[in-house]
Structure 1
Amino acid sequence: MENQVKAKPKQSSSSKSTYLLAYNGISFILWSIVTLRAIVLMPALASHDKLYGLHEALFTFLRATQTLALLEVAHAALGLVRASPVTTAMQVASRLMLVWGVLTPFPEIVMTTNAFGRHQAGTTGGPVALAGCHLAWGITEMIRYGFFVWKEGISDAIPSWLMWLRYNMFFVLYPIGISSECVLMYLALEPAQDMKNGYDWLLKAVLAIYVPGSYILYTHMMAQRRKIMKGKSKAS
């Protein structure tokens, strides 16, 4: 199948398309910076048993970049994109809970906490989970925003390699991201309990809905993939 047969380059764009192109382009650049810098830093940090340094080096930038995704809920609600507002809100909320509700109040979990929740300097359970989030979130978003930049700014005919990445990489990246998020939230239970304000119960409640919530999102992405792949088969 020729993936760019009769491709029509973008010649003009409405204000909506211009805005979406700018938003997706900026988001692609921001996530590329987060991801590529993490990839560069991780080998050096790991070799010195200082993977926890990833938080100090990148967290503020990661948090700001992820928070920008709140606009995507508004995009869906206002009909600027065809995505479901509910599904979009679920995807954005889970990550915002991690960056604002877990990593911001409890940075120690990615610096000195092991995978069993014990505070002990030099362990890597939390830092490894944070690295997993960096890679899973970052690669996912680079592919997704790159896809939309191409579609809004270049041509409606998406290259086959980009289409494949967009609708297949989640099989690997989504489980890595979800498991990393769950580990970080679990590690936050102990320091949250020390606050004695019931915040640990909120985290437990969120963990309890992660399994059904993750299933809903995962099956939603699989349904999208089937729909797109089916369309490609008919077109070929």
Structure 2
Amino acid sequence: MPATKTTTPRPSGPSGLTRGYLFTYNTANLLAWGTCIAYTASLLPAALASNSLPTVFNQTFNPLLLATQSLALLEVVHSLVRLVRAPFITTAMQVASRLLVVWGILAPFGGEIVGAKGAQAGDYAYMGCVAAWGITEVIRYGFFAITLSGGSVPAWWTWLRYNTFYVLYPIGISSECTLIFKALGPAGELNPLYRYFLIAVLVIYVPGSYVLYTHMIAQRRKVLRGKRRAD
């Protein structure tokens, strides 16, 4: 009789040093975004009561949001070298849009379009970004950290992971577009070509957002379908 091959199932997910690194990375991001959300929320009551909302931007952007969001560059690297299974194109699109907002809009023009008197639309758009990005990332990084630790993700956390984006994603996208639109004037003063670039970005945002949104919906269906089969 011919010898029969016995195959050993491969463990699912990363292992060894890769798992340890990814657990550390996701935990660090969970703590960073949690701190960003908690600190911003702690400043809001006094800022709203005293009609000084722009001060929230001045107190949170440089020490918290800029550094925290910049960590997402590593996600593009993780996808590129296949440390994770996230598609490279969609990961790069999402990270690039956020880095444009923090480095290309808020860093050079934040004092004019957000943290300034009369910049109310920009202030609320900034809060929208902090809320949408922060809540999404606390849920997402927490989900990954629990999974990589070998623990069992609670059902309610899984529900949050695959449902809250329906509301948070539109809030985030509309807030990002508002900030980019508000920056058209200052960008044109800096360089007319930069203004035209931002206009092109706003045009691309519509189909790009649709691609990312439908991708997340497809991922949700895939995961929940697999979960129902497992149950």
The question of a shared fold, defined as TM-score above 0.5 by the shorter chain, is answered with: yes
Q: Does the 8 Å CA contact 1:132/1:177 hold for their aligned counterparts?
A: yes
CA distances 1:155-195 after superposition (whole Å, capped 9, x unpaired):
2x421111101000000100000000000000000111122
Question: Hey, what does 1:82 align to over in structure 2?
Answer: 85
Deviation for aligned residue 1:123: 4.3
- Residue 35 of structure 1 deviates from its aligned partner by 0.7
Counterpart for residue 211 of structure 2 = 216
Do 1:106 and 1:188's aligned partners in 2 also have CA atoms closer than 8 Å?
A: yes
The answer as to whether partners of 1:49 and 1:122 remain within 8 angstroms in 2 is: no
Task: Tell me which of 138, 144, 149 is aligned to 2:145.
Answer: 149
- Which whole-Å deviations, capped at 9, do the CAs of 1:131-168 have from their partners, x for residues lacking one? 0000000000000000000000132x421111101000
1:176-221 deviation line (CA, Å, top 9, x unaligned) = 0000000000000011112244110010011110000000000000
Secondary structure, counterpart of 1:168 in structure 2? coil
- Contact 1:133 1:177 survives alignment (8 Å): yes
Q: Give the total of aligned pairs.
A: 216
Aligned to 2:20: 18
Q: Normalising to structure 1: TM-score of the pair?
A: 0.89
**Counterpart in the other structure of 1:116:** none
Q: What's the secondary structure of 1:79's corresponding residue?
A: coil
* Structure 1 residues 123 and 80: alpha-carbon distance in aligned structure 2, compared to 1, 3 A threshold: closer
Aligned to 1:29: 31
Percent identity (aligned):
52
Whether the 8 Å contact between 1:87 and 1:217 is mirrored in structure 2 is yes
2:179 is the alignment partner of 1:175 = no
Name the counterpart of 1:111.
115
Measure, in 2, the Cα distance between the counterparts of 1:125 and 1:150: 37
- On the 8 A contact 2:113/2:119 being kept in 1, the answer is no
Q: CA separation in 1, counterparts of 2:46 and 2:201?
A: 34
Aligned twin of 1:3: none
Q: Are positions 1:190 and 2:185 aligned together?
A: yes
Structure 1 unaligned regions, length at least 5? 1-12, 113-120
What whole-Å deviation, never above 9, does each CA across 1:26-53 have from its counterpart, x for those lacking one? Answer: 0100000001111111122112111111
Match of 1:137 in 2: 133
Distance (Å, rounded) in 2 between the aligned partners of 1:166 and 1:40: 25
1:93 to 83, 96, 99: 96
Query: Residue deviations 1:42-75, cap 9 Å, x none?
Result: 1221121111111111101211111111000000
Greater share of helix: 2
Q: What TM-score comes out, normalization by structure 2 length?
A: 0.90
1:200 maps to which residue? Answer: 195
Q: Distance in 2 between matches of 1:200 and 1:162?
A: 41
Runs of 4+ with deviation above 2 angstroms: none
Aligned counterparts of 2:163 and 2:217: Cα–Cα separation in 1: 9
CA contact (8 A) 2:58 2:115 kept: no
- State the partner residue of 1:158: 153
Give RMSD over aligned pairs: 1.3
Amino acid at match of 2:196: W
* Contact kept in structure 2, 1:136 and 1:177, CA below 8 Å: yes
Q: Tell me if structure 2 keeps the 8 A contact 1:98–1:181.
A: yes
